[in-house]
Amino acid sequence: SLCEIALYRPQKVCLCPFLPLHPLHISTHLYIIQHPAEENKVLRTVPLLAACLPQDKCKVKIGRRFSEERDPELSTVCRKSDTLILYPGAEAANLEEFILDSPIYPSTIIIIDGTWSQAKDIFYKNSLFRLPKQVQLKTSVSSQYVIRTQPTNRCLSTLECAAAALSILEKNDYIQETLLRPLQALCSFQLQHGAQIRLSKEHLLKNGLYPKPMPKNKRKLRKMELLMNSVKI
């Protein structure tokens, strides 16, 4: 239940007043592909997202590997011409521009939930996820999920990605405002009870504030250098 979210602090927070009275009316189907490691994290955003949407429009699939044999339903969804997958990259079209030119209006969007390395592993090691049209969000907005460290200043939480994508697909800004409300409340409560604002790894590196020693592994070191130079990784 979202009524009591257990925290690593003494307080229990009720977020029910910040949820919509009724699930949001949307026509888009949302599939969240969640890395198993996300299940046990306390401050995660997918339960908040699911609590705001109709059960038949928001489905969470947990796992690292997916195939036609393991998940025929997901396989069918990925093969449909009106399915999108939200994952940034050189091959990705900007969502707002894509729906203007697309002859088939999207009915389904898939979003991967996990750290950036987990999401990358899921996307590239499951051929199913390269069947839908790949799209990304064109945004310069910083994440409001300030109690969890992001790799760069432009990285958004799963809830924020879903909120932005659904508001674009449904052509309704109210959806984004409504979905962000419980996230803003969660962060506010946490900050009031001892949590610290988490700056992005990119910000810490650029300003000489990164608390850990630089990695000796060449691949990891290269990633750090790219972050410092604001290069997409």
Q: pLDDT tens digits for 34-43?
A: 999 988 776 6
List residues bridging with 52 in a β-sheet: none
* pLDDT at residue 44, as a whole number: 79
More confident residue, 34 or 151: 34
Alpha carbons 78 and 97: distance in angstroms, whole number: 21
List helix spans (H) across 29-94: 46-52, 72-79
pLDDT band, very low/low/confident/very high, at 232 (cuts 50, 70, 90): very low
* pLDDT at residue 229, as a whole number: 55
* pLDDT at residue 7, as a whole number: 45
Alpha carbons 173 and 185: distance in angstroms, whole number: 19
Q: What residues have CB less than 8 Å from 49, skipping those under 6 apart?
A: 32, 58, 158, 159, 162, 163, 179
* pLDDT at residue 181, as a whole number: 93
Place of tokens 């091959």: 91
Residue 203 has pLDDT above 50, yes or no: no
Percent of the chain surpassing pLDDT 70:
68
Residue 231 has pLDDT above 60, yes or no: no
* pLDDT at residue 6, as a whole number: 45
pLDDT band, very low/low/confident/very high, at 73 (cuts 50, 70, 90): very high
Residue 25 has pLDDT above 60, yes or no: yes
List residues bridging with 133 in a β-sheet: 84
More confident residue, 231 or 179: 179
* pLDDT at residue 45, as a whole number: 86
- Phi and psi at residue 2, to the nearest 5°: -80, -10
